[in-house]
Structure 1
Amino acid sequence: MPPSQTVLDLLHRIAAELQVDGPLTVGTMFRSPGLRTGSKIVAFLGSGDYLIVKLPQPRAAELIAAGAAEPVTMGRRTMREWIEVPAAADLEATAHRWTELTREALEYVRSLPG
């Protein structure tokens, strides 16, 4: 199921807000709308209105343990640095949560070599 127009609009809103932190482009990642800085993927929308972000493994594990996120599995492999966060019923709560997590992901991805 493709992401809803509401979360797609939210992704663009997050990109515009975080643009002040440096170049961030909206494009397609894994056949889904997402965000990248340079050639590095920061976040993308998963089916069912989930935001999938890349965070340091300890932070990803912390969010999963707290029940705030789920691990991402591609094929049979669970990705250690990728988590999925569902949209909340309240759009503004979702916007706040997703923006903060995307900001964390952006800082992390920019710190990686290459």
Structure 2
Amino acid sequence: MPRNAKRASSPDPSGGDDARDLYDELTDDLLYDPAIGRSTMMGYPCIRLAGRFLASYDDKAGSLVVKLPGERVAELVRTGTGAEFAPAGKVFREWVAIPTIDPDLWRGLLAEAVTFARTTLTQGR
């Protein structure tokens, strides 16, 4: 299966290597910006913009995890596109997990996360 193909079904519910490969591919595309770099967050691989977390990959669930405005997170959860991100049972209201392996969806949400991170930088949050 090509790296950026949508996965119809999988014996591995986490998405396995395909999801991680997609995360790596899409986040590599963001590294052209010198303000964006790789890091870790609570043991998960992540990317940051000027030191601020903007996205991560949950290797246990095979999900993209992005930081977005709370209203956008609520919308994604309400529509079933995303799920609350709650490591160790604590819900992070500005973070959403996206379990569907969809390159276009992930690319769009990563772009939204970059925009949100830039906004919070300029607002001093």
TM, length-normalised to structure 2: 0.74
Give the SS at the match of 1:63.
helix
Q: Does 1:101 align with 2:109?
A: yes
Larger radius of gyration: 2
Q: Does 1:9 align with 2:17?
A: no
Q: In the aligned structure 1, how far is the partner of 2:44 from the partner of 2:15?
A: 8
Q: In the aligned structure 1, how far is the partner of 2:81 from the partner of 2:27?
A: 22
Q: Does 1:85 align with 2:93?
A: no
Q: Does 1:61 align with 2:99?
A: no
Contiguous gaps of at least 5 residues in structure 1: 89-93
What amino acid is the match of 1:33? P
CA RMSD in angstroms comes to 2.1
Contiguous gaps of at least 5 residues in structure 2: 1-13
User: By percentage of residues, which structure has more strand?
Assistant: 1
Equivalenced residues, count? 108
Map of 1:111 onto structure 2: 119
TM, length-normalised to structure 1: 0.81
| Identity value in percent | 26
Map of 1:52 onto structure 2: 65
